[in-house]
Structure 1
């Protein structure tokens, strides 16, 4: 049997997660991967509000059209080949297809807008809006990305996990 004498125990291991003040990490720092795109990167982790506010009118129209596609297809199929489920059965089908249409339309809207932030599609308008927004904040003396309530260590953790 192993001896349980306290003087023979190995030294206690202190984890960086439990003791962030040690300033040591077990893994080397790995910088964020930069993608080679045709357009400039605006923000690699934009806030939801920013993505929605930078959306173009074409994003709204494509989302509305795509949202109407699923319920419209269900109505078309019902005309071509009636399901004969009755009025209440078809209402449930239409509720589900409308919900799916709204979610998929919003997803299309959001992905088109966020792809411009990443530089995957043409983003000249968004770059100009971002520059205008940032210069206005600098002129007012505000921090560029708001005031954080987290410690510097936790901000670093959030940045690495983002």
Structure 2
């Protein structure tokens, strides 16, 4: 598990670094049961298998000009891209939160709360302003500005 969480953090950092000035931010859900998650597509997609790496595909879709940059994207436990541009609405978990001084956003909070759901192995976000964070079972396990 620790290795996969480290790989997720590295992937998020690389997407943020390679995306450049038009990086929109990104939210990732790692799950082996994507149909069980509280998501709804934001775009009509027929995401076809692609030989490019997950990193290359995420860099492309996290650009502000991509029609798929909004929402969360689902990765398999092997960190292969499975679904893109999903609205993700986990329930609020009482007692979970963050220090308001950190000025995190909605995607961060959805990832934090979502990491507690059955069917979610881990979640992660990267922002042009606030850095990278990975969550597992309701805890921020790695963060980098």
Q: Do both share a fold (TM > 0.5)? A: no
For normalisation by structure 1, the TM-score amounts to: 0.27
After TM superposition, the score normalised by the length of structure 2 is 0.29
Name the larger-Rg structure: 1
